[in-house]
Amino acid sequence: MIKTQLLFVMGVSGCGKSTIGKLLSEKLNVPFFDGDSFHPEANVIKMSEGKPLNDDDRQGWLERLNELAIENKSTGAIIVCSALKERYRTVLGNQLNGQHRIINLKGSFELISARLNKRKNHFMPKGLLQSQFNSLEVPKNALTVSIDQTPSEIIDEIIEQLQN
């Protein structure tokens, strides 16, 4: 039995956060929120121009995602966002009193780069992938799942880890 939780699905662009988040949301019957939908327009424009976001760009966005989590404490929710640095994950978990978990979708640069080559109509250009890997601080207290398997297998592994 999995108790009601707030789950943040994290990882670099192209690792499958949205796909896995939606499937997990359906499996657990909790709302799904794609963090990309909450970026201010200035952030989207900056990324579209191939410029990586800095910590100041991300601060308000992370605070909004934290507010979203707080608003959904009673029902639980799946919120996907890159959450590449420990300090970002700290902002996301503010005032959640440990009622949240981080799910880290892990994959190699080569695998994710190949996926991005196939992706269409996304504001995050492939050229920023290296900057994301450079910024990534691997979380210590997260459920880490390899993306080198099918979405169904990833969901099964996440559910199994959540039950332990």
**What is the reported pLDDT for 2?**
63
Domains and CATH numbers, the chain: 6-163 (3.40.50.300)
Q: What SS3 state is found at 79?
A: strand
| pTM, rounded to two decimals | 0.90
Could you tell me if 104 and 85 are in contact, meaning their C-beta atoms sit under 8 angstroms apart?
A: no
| Alpha-carbon span 159 to 163, nearest angstrom | 6
Q: What is the mean pLDDT of each run of 10 residues along the chain (164 residues)?
A: 81 93 96 94 86 89 97 95 95 93 95 78 61 90 95 96 88
